[in-house]
Amino acid sequence: PSPRSCQPHGANEEALRYEIEELKQKDLALDQEIAQLLSEGYSLEELEKHISLLHEYNDIKDAGQMLLGKLAVIRGVTTRQLYPEYDLELSD
């Protein structure tokens, strides 16, 4: 059983209300951020393209990290030790 199923009914409802309120606040903050970007001259299409490119970048970066991890295991070293060999910065 999940931890929530062990809680009294009222506590579970309160946790859900809190979670809903947090999500509403995040939604409001995102709406404000979008409004700010639009006021700076960005278009929704441009923002959607940037988001799409960021997702693609993250997917490629994750694949690269996975490959570095496998190579490190094969060589018996840490991934950190491979970074200089491939001219990567630790912040990459």
User: Are 53 and 86 members of one domain?
Assistant: yes
Residue 3 domain flag: no
Could you report the per-residue pLDDT of 34-86, keeping only the tens digit for each? 899 889 998 888 888 999 999 999 999 999 999 999 999 999 999 999 999 98
The model scores a pTM over 0.75: no
Q: What is the pLDDT of residue 72?
A: 94
Q: How confident is the model at residue 89 (pLDDT cuts 50, 70, 90)?
A: confident
| Structural domain span for residue 28 | 8-42
User: Are 26 and 55 members of one domain?
Assistant: no
Secondary structure (DSSP) of the chain: --GGGGS-HHHHHHHHHHHHHHHHHHHHHHHHHHHHHHHTT--HHHHHHHHHHHHHHHHHHHHHHHHHHHHHHHHTS-HHHHTGGGT--TT-
User: Are 60 and 28 members of one domain?
Assistant: no
